[in-house]
Amino acid sequence: TAWLLIILIPVAKLSTRAASRVLLLPPERVLIRPLRMTEVPLEGEVILCCYHAANPYYYKYAVDGINVFAVNLLPLVLVTLVLGYVDSPNHLTGSAVKFTLALLSIMPLSYYIGMAIASISAQSNFAVGAVVNATFGSITELTFYITALIKGSREGNRCYAEVVKSALTGTLVGCVLFVPGLCMVIGGIRHQEQRFNSRSAGVSSALLFLSVGGELGTGLSPGLGVPPGWVPAPCAVPAGVFAPTLFSKVYGKLVCGECHNVTQNPLGHYLCHNCHFDLMDNNGTLYYSHVQPLVYTVSILLPAAYLIGLFFTLKTHTHIYDIHISDCHMPGHHHSAVVHWSRWRALVILLLSTLCMSACADLATEHISPILTNSTISQYFIGVTVLAMVPELPEIVNGIQFALQNNLSLSIEIGNCIAVQVCMLQIPILVLFTIFYPTNFTLVFSDLHVYASMFSVVLMNYIFMDGKCDYFQGTVLVMVYFILLAVYFFAPSPSGC
């Protein structure tokens, strides 16, 4: 109990050391007798000197390079797996408890995967480090997303695909706004003004802008009065993952659930509800002949741009990371260059953590359905908050620690690197996965996801222009993030869900 409370670790270590010494000593050397405070036996031996019973700074304590919080959460993973697979009929606990435990178990596993990746990358050359980072950097999120898509495909439920899109958008928006904003606020409380490497941040910002692009919209929303036969003219400059979304708006057929003539003139204005662009008109000719090839093209070009970014930051322009303090030399998911484990030990831990992650993701998707159907909260909100940000909590904690050390460059790079991998690795991998295992996942996002992502990237680029920040700019980013969360909270769930 003292160890789990963290701040009482000195007491836990003292008790453990004393108990082990007593148990291992020969019986004739064990002498139990009462002593006064002033009595010190001459034959006594100091086995541990402890000046304080509690210390609040023990949250930094590490066991074999592993943070104490990750060590304490490891038994939770075992409890989750045993409870999830042994009590499959839900006799002991319900679906909500199992879903919560599975989601919480992802946090320490994500930490172990990150530590293993960092150790392997630090002991390998450029090519091996880049491949390992690109392969396993997003394994936490991809495991959950792929498991959810498979379950949705088996059940014929498109809501799982919409939840995955919401989680992808939530990770992107959260890592662009909330992670750097929170680090700026916490770091700004201790340091009046913090500076960061604007050139290194500019690399990730450029990749993000390439991935997201910009979209101004079509000027049409459900419920808007339109004349019959009128086709909206979109005004957009898209790029990356949202290019198929704009393409579907330009060439898709506008279908509305219900329209009413608000005037007596047959050619007057109509009030329409539940409008969407249908891509499956004429037996899906538009989708299979035009949209789907575009989706595959984008899914190939974005990882290629990511690899070029890796080569740029790791090989040809590593000097730009020496302008300010920074330990990150790749646009990846994890940044520590410290070698905690040997290469083989890190590989074993990486594989075991990945297997446990797959099992926890399977349990989470298995028990998320009752939560989605019975909850009165919008499924959009559940996706962009719980499913998106809980797996990123270890990275958020790391970013805060770097900000407190006045190393804001690394804090910002953590959020940017995760966001870059969402657009340039995770989404293309999910799209390419559908080739081998057909699912309901299509690279066509709702307008809410498009506007939230695009606005977040533009705001981030504006904040990062001058290479310095304070707590006020961080507050702006955090407040914008909370406003977007409020929009998702009050937004209705996807149609049919």
Mean pLDDT of 428-436: 89
DSSP letter at 290 equals I
The pTM of this model reads 0.77
Q: What amino acid is encoded at 402 in this protein? A: F
DSSP letter at 425 equals I
pLDDT digits (tens, 9 = 90+) for 155-193: 888 888 888 999 999 999 998 899 888 888 888 888 777
Check pLDDT > 70 for residue 282.
no
Lowest mean pLDDT, pick from 68-72, 80-84, 357-361, 488-492: 68-72
Place of tokens 């031996």: 45
Mean pLDDT of 57-73: 73
The residue that leads in pLDDT, 409 or 7, is 409
Check pLDDT > 60 for residue 37.
no
Q: Give residue 488's pLDDT.
A: 92
Indicate the domain borders of the chain.
Answer: 1-60, 63-216+292-490
The residue that leads in pLDDT, 231 or 423, is 423
Those residues whose C-beta lies under 8 Å from the C-beta of residue 230, and which sit 6 or more positions away, are none
Q: Give residue 57's pLDDT.
A: 66
CA distance 456 to 443: 20
Check pLDDT > 80 for residue 254.
no
Closest CA to 60 of 106, 114, 6, 105: 6
Q: What are phi and psi of 469, to 5 degrees?
A: -155, 170
Is residue 135 very low, low, confident or very high in pLDDT (cuts 50, 70, 90)?
Answer: low
Q: What CA–CA distances, in Å, run from 421 to 59, 174, 233, 274, 323?
A: 29, 13, 32, 33, 24
CB-based contact 189:471 (threshold 8 Å)? yes
The residue that leads in pLDDT, 281 or 383, is 383
Lowest mean pLDDT, pick from 17-31, 35-49, 403-417, 462-476: 35-49
Mean pLDDT of 84-96: 82
Check pLDDT > 60 for residue 353.
yes
Q: Return mean pLDDT, the chain.
A: 76
Mean pLDDT of 239-252: 79
